[in-house]
Structure 1
Amino acid sequence: MPEHVSTLQWAGAAVLTLAGVAWAFGVLRLLRRFRTEALRELPAVRPAGPVRLPVLPAQPQSGPPRESVELTPAERDAFAGLVRQLGDH
């Protein structure tokens, strides 16, 4: 036992540790109790389809159409030069 720690400090640390363990034990018991109660209240049959939140709007099933642009030979050369320039760093 270190000399600079009094017996009262050791007792306080022990009491706080025991209180923390008791609190954690109590919270775990409450969570287990409420979880088992919630599981009992669940319906036996779940819906077959996906669950949708009524607040969120329906999401689109596909993205925007693809766009492409043909480059001229000069633009292709400029782009290749840019790629080489950035690849050197």
Structure 2
Amino acid sequence: MPEHVSILQWAGVAVLALAAVAWVTGLSRMLRRGGIEAPAAGPRPGPTALPALPRQRQAGPDRESVELTPAEKDAFAGLVRQLAEGR
């Protein structure tokens, strides 16, 4: 054991090594339990929904539109002209 390395540093290395081994062991067990293995020959199952995500709508929201009055159209055209000149 080198003289310039303290006992606390060695203990820290040992704790980190044990934590890494525990993490790898837990991860491998979790993957084996979850059924994430190479599938055997045969048809692939269809996609499954993730339980933590809410169901997604099949279609987007309905489109909304509002007719502008002639005064509003003129005001919008003026605004567009002002923004184009500001470049």
Q: Which residues in structure 2 correspond to 1:1-80 (within 5 Å)? A: 10-39=6-35, 48-52=45-49, 59-80=56-77
Q: Residue type of the partner of 2:75?
A: A
Query: What count of residue pairs does the alignment treat as equivalent?
Result: 81
Q: Residue type of the partner of 1:29?
A: T
Deviation of the 1:10 alpha carbon: 2.2
Deviation of the 1:21 alpha carbon: 1.5
C-alpha separation in 1, matches of 2:69 and 2:19: 72
Let me know the Cα RMSD of the aligned residues.
4.1
* Structure 1 gaps, min length 5: 1-6
Q: Residue type of the partner of 1:74?
A: A
Counterpart of 2:80 in structure 1 is: 83
Q: Percent identity?
A: 44
CA 61–17 in structure 1, closer or farther in 2 if over 3 Å, else same:
same
Q: Residue type of the partner of 1:19?
A: V
C-alpha separation in 1, matches of 2:32 and 2:12: 30
Highest RCO, 1 vs 2 (Cα 8 Å, sep ≥ 6): 2
Question: Which of the pair is proportionally richer in helix?
Answer: 1
* Structure 2 gaps, min length 5: none
Deviation of the 1:72 alpha carbon: 3.7
